[in-house]
Structure 1
Amino acid sequence: LICEHWFILGLGFAIGFAAAVPDFGRKGGWIEAQWSIKYGAVIIIFFLSGLSLKTRALLNVMARLHVHLFIQFLCLVLTPAIGYGVARALTESSINPSLVNGLVVAMTMPTTISTNVVFTKQSGGNEAAALVNAVIGNIIGIFISPGWLYLYLGKSGQAPYADVIKQLAVTIIAPLIVGQLVQYVFPNHVKKAQEKVNFGKVGNLMIILLVWNTFCDTFHRDIHLDAKSWVPMLFIEIGLFLFFSTMCLALATFVPIKRIFNFDKSDAVAVLMCGSTKTLALGMPLITVLYGKNANVGIISLPLIIYHASQCLIGSLYIKQLKEWVKGPSP
C-alpha cells in the first residue's frame, strides 16, 4: 500500500516537514532552495523529457497550432473568467477580501510548468503536447495575465518579462535540448538508463521537492488568517480544480470538438492537465510586483499556493484512471 501511494504520502510528508522546519527549504534558507530546488528540480524534469521524447514527435506536436490554441483558450481565457465569476460571488461573504482577490490572481495564471508534463506522461497522455503548451502558456501568460488583473481588479504593473523568459530558457528549453542531443548521440546508453531508472518516479520526486519548497516559503511567512476564511477557500479551490479538470476532459472528448481538432485520448489527457492547472513560477513574481507593498501580500498569494497543492494531489489521483482509459477501447 505504501509503495502504491508513495507519491501522495510523500506530498503529505513534504508539507508536514515544511511546517516543522520552514527555514530548511525556503527561499534564501539553509539550502538556497530558490536555486537548488526551483531550478534544479525543474531542470531534471525537462532533461528527462528530452531523453525520452522522440524529436519527430516533438516537432509534429509543435505544428499542431489548433491544439495549442484550444489549450491556451481554456487556461488563459475560460478558467480566468469562471474564476472571476466565483470571486465576485464571494465578495459579500465572510471570506477575507484579500483572499478573494488572491483567488482572481490565481485563476488568471497560465498553466503550470512541471506537474502537467510529468502527470501527462504517466497517464499515457501526449507528453510532447503538454511540454510545448507549458512553454507557450508561460511565454504568452506574462502578457495576458497582467491584462486580466488590470481588467478584473484594476491592478496594473509589468510582469518580470526578462526574468520569466530567462527562467524558461534555463529550466525548460536548455535541458530539453541537451536531453535531445544526449538521446541522439548516445541512444544505447539512454535506453539502458531508462531500463534501470524509472524516469516517472524521478519526476514525481522532483514534484514533491517543488511542493516542499513552496510550503517552506508559505510557513516562513507565518500568515495569520481566520479559519472562517481559509477553510471555505480551501474547499472552493479544490472544487474549482475538480470542475476545471472535468470540464477540460469533457470538452476534449466532446465529439464535435474532437473531430474539429482531431483529438485522440492522449491529446485529451494533455488538455486536462494543461487546461486546468496554474503556475507558481509566474504567479509569485507577479504578486510581488503588484502587491509587494501591500501588508496582505501573504494572504493574496495563498489561493495560488492552495490551488497548486490541490492540482498536485488530485492530479496524481487521476493518473491510474486516465492511464486505463487511454489504453482502453476507443468509443
Structure 2
Amino acid sequence: MKIKVDRFVIAIIIVILIAYLYPNLGSKQSAVPFDLIGTIGISLIFFFYGLKLSPDKIKSGLKNWKLHLVVQLTTFLIFPLIIIAFKPLILTEESQTLWLSFLFLAALPSTVSSSVVMVSIAKGNIPAAIFNASISGLMGIIITPLWIGLFLQHTTGDFNIESIYISLIIQILIPVIIGMLLQKYWGKFAIKYKNQLTLFDKTIILLIIYKSFAESFDEDIFSSVSISDLLLLFTMVVALFYVVYFITGFISKKLHFNTEDRITAQFCGTKKSLVHGTVFAEILFPSTMSIGFILLPLMVFHAVQIFIVSIIATRLAKREQLNKESTPL
C-alpha cells in the first residue's frame, strides 16, 4: 500500500529547522513585522473561510443531528475530559506547561480540509463532514478559550477572557461573518481559486510557526527537552488519537450509525485544526509562555492524524471497492 507523504508536514519540519538555524530573524528583536503580517494574514484566512461557507448547505446539513452531536461532543467534550483526567498527575511547573499544551490541543476545533478529503477517500458521508468541520471551526471560537481559561487563569495572572474574546471577534469572527455575507457574490471566486487560497492559508501558518519556534530557540526554551521526551510526547499523541478514535467508533455502533456516518464520525471527531491552533495560541497564551512549546503536541498530532487516517481511509476505500466487485449484477 502506497502512502503519500503530506507536503505540508514536510514544510513544517523545514520551517522549524530554519527557525533553529536562523532564530534571530523571527526573534522579538527582529525588524521583520511578523506580528502585523500574521494579524492581517489571519483575518484574510478566516475571511476566505467565510466565503466558502454556504448558508444553504449549513441549513440542509442540520438534518443528521445525531451524527453532528457525536462529532461535536467528541471534539469539544470527550477530547478535553481525557486530558483533564490526567491533571492530578501533574506535579512540576514544566509538566504543567506540557499538560496545558495537550489541553489546548484537545480543546481545538476540527479541521475542514483533511476531514473532508479523508472522508471522501474512505467513501463516508461527505456532506456531513463538510457541515461538521465548518460548524466546528465557528464553535471553537467560543468553546476553546473557555476550556483554556478554566486552567490558564490559575497559572498566570494576565489571562483576560474579555480581551481574548475581543481579539477573537476582531481577528476571526468578523472576517468570517463578512465572508459569509459576501458568499453569494464572491463564493464562486473562492471555489475557483481554492487551491491558491489553501496555499495562502498554509503560507501564513508557516510564518506563524517560524516566528513561534524562532522565539523559542532564541530564548533556549527547548534546551531541557531530550530525545526521550520527544519520543514520550509522540507516544502520548498516538495514544490520544487511538483512544478518541475507538471511543467515537463505539458510540457510533451503539447509535446504529451506517458505515458512511461511522466513518464521518470517527474521521471528523479525531481531527484537530492546525490553522485554528496556531491562530488561537497567539491570542490565548500570554507572552511569558513559549508558543513554540505550546504548539509542539499539536504539530505532532497533525502529522500523526494525517498519517494514520490516510492508512485507514485507503483500507476502507479498498474494502468498498472489493465489496462492489463481489456484488453480483
Query: Which TM-score bucket, shorter chain as reference?
Result: 0.7 to 0.9
1:143 to 118, 143, 146: 146
Report the AA paired with residue 239 of structure 2: F
Indicate the residue corresponding to 1:312 in structure 2: 302
Provide Cα deviations, 1:184-241, integer angstroms capped at 9, x if missing partner: 11454444334xx454444433432332222122122222634xx5333322221122
User: Structure 1 residues 126-135 or 274-283, which shifts more?
Assistant: 274-283
1:232 is aligned to 228
Normalised by the size of structure 2, how large is the TM-score?
0.73
Letter of the structure 2 residue corresponding to residue 101 of structure 1: Q
Aligned to 2:9: 8
1:108 aligns with 2:115: no
Q: In the comparison of the two structures, how many residue pairs are matched?
A: 304
CA distance in 1, matches of 2:205, 2:251: 34
Post-superposition shift, 1:273?
0.8
Contact (CA 8 Å) 1:280, 1:305: kept in 2 or not?
yes
- 1:69 aligns with 73
Instruction: Name stretches of at least 5 consecutive residues in structure 1 with no aligned partner.
Output: 92-96
Q: Please tell me the residue identity of whatever aligns with 1:105.
A: L
Opposite residue 103 of structure 1, the aligned amino acid is L
Instruction: Call closer, same or farther: CA 1:186–1:44 in 2, change over 3 Å.
Output: closer
CA distance in 1, matches of 2:84, 2:181: 38
The structure-2 alpha-carbon separation of the partners of 1:107 and 1:53, relative to structure 1 and needing over 3 Å to count, comes to: same
The 2-side partners of 1:277 and 1:7 are apart by 12
Shift of 1:13: 1.7
- Cα 1:156–1:219 change in 2 (3 A) is closer
Q: 1:302 to 1:192 in 2, by over 3 A?
A: closer
Deviation at 1:271, TM superposition (A): 0.7
Report the equivalent of 2:118: 123
Q: CA 1:302/1:275 → structure 2, altered by over 3 Å: closer, same or farther?
A: closer
Identical aligned pairs, as a percentage? 14
- Could you say what secondary structure the match of 2:97 adopts? helix
* Cα distance between partner residues in 2 of 1:116 and 1:203: 13
The whole-number CA distance in structure 2 between the counterparts of 1:260 and 1:26 is: 53
Segments of structure 2 that go 5 or more residues without pairing to the other structure are: 120-125, 324-329
Sort the Cα spacing of 1:249 and 1:15 in 2 relative to 1 into closer, same or farther, 3 A: same
The question of whether the paired residues in 2 share the 8 Å contact of 1:122 and 1:323 is answered with: no
Structure 1 distance, partners of 2:16, 2:156, is 33
Deviations, residues 122-170 of structure 1 (Å, cap 9, x unaligned): 43462442343344344234333343467xxx64756321332133223
Tell me how far apart the structure 1 counterparts of residues 276 and 175 of structure 2 sit (CA, whole Å).
22
- The alpha-carbon deviation at position 36 of structure 1 amounts to 0.9
2:155, 2:315 → 1: CA distance? 43
User: Aligned letter for 1:120?
Assistant: S
Letter of the structure 2 residue corresponding to residue 33 of structure 1: F
In 1: Cα distance, 2:185 partner to 2:210 partner: 35
- Residue 60 of structure 1 and its aligned partner are, at CA, apart by 5.2
Q: Distance in 2 between matches of 1:130 and 1:268?
A: 12
Corresponding residue for 1:20? 21
Deviation at 1:320, TM superposition (A): 3.6
With the length of structure 1 as denominator, give the TM-score of the two structures: 0.73
